[in-house]
Chains A and B, each alone.
Chain A
Amino acid sequence: MNALLLPLKALMYVNTAIARVGKSLAWVCVTLMVSSILFQVVMRYVFNNAQPWPEEVARAFMIWMMALVAAAAYREGSFVAIEMLHDFLPRVASALLKLALYIAALIILYYLFTMGLEFFQRGFRTRAASFNLQLAWVYLAMPVCFGTMILVNIELLLIEAGNLLFRDFNDRLGIKPKHGRAQLAME
């Protein structure tokens, strides 16, 4: 069990750190989004002098905001799914199905990550329309988003596998059973 527990604990530590950094940058992104749109509103309606850049800047911050917290949201279970079937399946069947779904998700995320990297590299050839920056630095958000989600996906997959193999796996890991749907929605 330790062969599984130790790397998983290390991964969980990394994911927690990523989530913390992501969250502390994301709220700055939100602040800058709101500020640049409000700046535009003031410029347009008070000074009658709309600027070309605030909307594009705000969009770039929105993409980064999403990229920085998407993994944390995935980890906390806020990705909507229909989980009814799992209530009717026997424990082992449900766990195997969940493993298969995590593997499928991993493949999808891998595709998205590699395509995101290509997209990032091509972004060096284009500049933003209204400010002097290569678009690659905005595009970089996508591989960051999907890369961090891959790490979370591996964590979730290993936890599921561990629980399938060992009955007391969650206790050894020190995690509590998942929240209900409503609790998640209200947090």
Chain B
Amino acid sequence: MLILFLPLFLIVLLIGMPVFFATLFAPGFMLLWEGMDRDLPLLFRNIYNGIDSFPLMAIPFFMLAGELMNRGGITFRLVDFSQAFIGHVRGGLAHVNIMSSMLFAGLSGSAVADTSAIGSMMIPAMEKNGYKRKFAAAITAASSVIGPIIPPSGIMIIYAYTMEVSVASLFAAGIVPGVLMGLSLMVITAIMAKRYDFPKAGHKYSWPERAGATKKAILPLLTPVIILGGILGGIFTPTEASAVAVAYALILSVWVFKSVKLTDLPQVFVRSAMGSAVVLLLVGSAMAFKTVVSLSQSAQMLAEWMLTLSDNAYILLFLINIMLFIVGMFLDAGPAIIILGPILAPIFTSIGVDPVHFAMIMSVNLTVGLATPPMGLVLFVASSVSGERVESIAKAILPFLAAEIAVILLITFVPEISLTVPRLLGLMPWPA
């Protein structure tokens, strides 16, 4: 019974085996058990082929570009820009925090980078302005999950590659959900601002002042235009766009803003190499895992079982949302996608859910999981940036999580939210 590798996999994962080893241990052990030793080199071959990939190269490159931008002092330019436009309303700095996260999301594809960059700037500023520190930390964590939803996005590159969907359509599909996520947080902030009488962040900027802030932020703000324009316009492949983003970030941080020294570069490069080495190994092991998923026909068996629960796609999607949300509480988005994608995606595409739509449901749901207690990674990062305890941030974040869950449900049940932009850009066909 090769299919027993799935429960075995769950057990070793839950007792603390690192995901990379667990995705190889369970299938490898079951192959040996079943006397299918000859298939072991096939696992190895798939790890290698999984890593030896041109599309995956975008991951180290986007990581590097984001890191360079962050060190290059662009965060304060983005914050300044947001402040100039929405700082004067009630709850101004909270809105500035959210808007900066959305802008930052267009440069980086990682929620952790977003939390540490914006948090270390905004949390002290908000505290000084009269906000409670746990509230400032909570809103930083809640808004940072927009990072991997608005393109570019590391997890969407991983998803596209392991599930054979186009990166360009996933990037295009993420724009509206990401903006919706930000707007929903702003609505909650506005309601709370009225009820709890949040402070304003200062005077209303005049238009010349706004023009000044825009001028300072315009070069970093052009990054998403170059990346997305290039990819969605069909000029660059995502990998080429990510290399161009590295070059652009280098030029900005080393020569234009002069905030990174050439001698700092090796260290920055090594950090992104180490971060992506872990991701590459995970993707490789996921490709091996995927082979055994199809050898064992477990996706078909799970699909049959799920269809006995209900044959209504909406009910199944709702159930899967709950499951993903729980998984997201314990596991980071990248590994969760790598493990669950190959099992779940075929089931849902077979009952007529669009693959790009399902990719959005999974990515958004699992990214929000980054900000949910008890294991949400960005909660821990927000805690160490702010010095506030994880438990108190976890309580303060609840109203924002409620808003994000509402957006998840909206994205799940209204496919057009995700699919309209890729269709308009001609990346996907319109439904007949």
Contact = CB atoms under 8 A, between A and B. Distances in A.
B52 A104 contact: no
Interface of B: 12-21, 24-25, 28, 40-41, 44-45, 47-48, 51-54, 56-57, 60-61, 64, 112, 116, 235-236, 239-240, 243-244, 246-247, 265-267, 269-278, 280-282, 330-332, 334-335, 374-375, 377, 380-381, 383-385
Contact of A108 (B15, B25, B276): B25
A143 to B, nearest CB: 11
A111 interface: yes
Contacts of B385: 186
A81 B277 CA distance: 16
B377 A181 contact: yes
Given A66-B280, A79-B19, A181-B380, 15 more contacts: A27-B273, A41-B236, A41-B240, A62-B56, A66-B273, A73-B274, A76-B274, A80-B282, A80-B332, A85-B16, A97-B16, A105-B18, A105-B21, A185-B381, A186-B381
A82 B243 contact: no
A24 to B, nearest CB: 7
A50 to B, nearest CB: 11
State the majority secondary structure of interface residues on B. helix
Contact of A79 (B15, B20, B247, B331): B20
Given A34-B246, A41-B240, A82-B13, A63 B28 contact: no
Contact of A31 (B17, B19, B269, B384): B269
A61 to B, nearest CB: 9
A83 interface: yes
A35 to B, nearest CB: 9
A85 B273 contact: no
B277 A66 contact: yes
17 contacts: A26-B270, A27-B269, A29-B273, A62-B51, A65-B60, A66-B276, A70-B277, A73-B278, A79-B21, A80-B18, A80-B334, A80-B335, A85-B15, A97-B16, A101-B21, A180-B384, A185-B112
Interface in A1-54: 23-24, 26-27, 29-31, 33-34, 37-38, 40-41, 45
A69 interface: yes
Interface in A90-104: 97-98, 101, 104
A58 interface: yes
Contacts of B377: 181-182, 185
Nearest to B334: A80
Given A69-B270, A115-B44, A82 B240 contact: no
Given A81-B19, A118-B41, A65 B380 contact: no
